[in-house]
Amino acid sequence: MPNESDIRGFVSIVGAGPGPADLMTQRALDRLQRADVVVYDRLISPEVLALIPQGAQRVFAGKALGNHAIPQEAIHALLVQHAKAGRRVVRLKGGDPYVFGRGGEEVQAMQAQRVPFEVVPGITAASGCSAGAGIPLTHRDLAASCVFLPGHLADDKATHDWRALARPGQTRVFYMGIQRLAHIAERLIAHGLSPNTPAAVVRDGTRSTQTVVACSLRRLVEQAPAYGPHPGLLIIGETVQLSPDFHAE
């Protein structure tokens, strides 16, 4: 069977990791350097973009809250169009395609159009940024489980199970959670979580511009940076106290 990277008319949905090029997998780098077309997201770092072959077509498909360069359905159509034209297509996504990356939707679109594809995993923000900030996601004495959640939900009428999330012994990671930090803290505390629970905001995690604010959840609401263009991760749980940036009250 030929290597997928040698097949034309093929889509590789690639996780680029949390930012630095040396945190990409070898397979991700291989697919990127063989690409004819690269459809990439907003959070792809300049050093990763620099690895795209000079002759490859680049298509920006970045998304921010309330501002999508290309609607998701149009991205699907673009991938299908280029693949059916016989091109090697890379859909380049920050983190991992299957963790809040809409990779599942893109796979369904390829399957519906009978376009051959693969998914190349990447280091997701939760593991990359927590490691960069010195925060274990699990710990034998502090957290037996961890849960990944969206900071803002696709359906405003939907809600988290706040009672379950307030239970002890778990690390809670909210992707893009800075904007909703006050609401998240209020809901968790209302359902029984101590306001003194360690919590952190990690911005630009694993990058040279990384910043970490780690303290009690109550103080974090007061001290956290405002929502802005930099990617940010909210981590709440006892393991946050192990970060070298943690400041106890």
Point out the catalytic residue in the list 22, 30, 63, 156: 63
How far is 37 from 121, CA to CA, in rounded Å?
19
Asked if 176 and 212 count as a contact pair (C-beta separation under 8 A), the reply is no
Point out the catalytic residue in the list 41, 93, 96, 204: 41
> Quick check: is 245 catalytic?
no
Residues 6+ apart with CB under 8 A from 59: 37, 38, 39, 40, 70, 78
How far is 169 from 161, CA to CA, in rounded Å?
16
Residue 246 pairs in a beta bridge with: 214
Cβ-count burial of 230 within 10 angstroms (0-12 exposed, 13-18 middle, 19+ buried)? middle
Written as six digits, the tokens of 249 are 């009250």
Q: Are strands 198-203 and 232-236 parallel, antiparallel or unpaired?
A: antiparallel
Give, in degrees to the nearest 5, the angle at Cα 242 between 177 and 229. 25
> Quick check: is 41 catalytic?
yes
Q: Report H helices in the chain.
A: 26-33, 46-49, 72-84, 103-112, 125-132, 162-165, 181-190, 217-223
Query: Which of the residues are catalytic?
Result: 41, 63
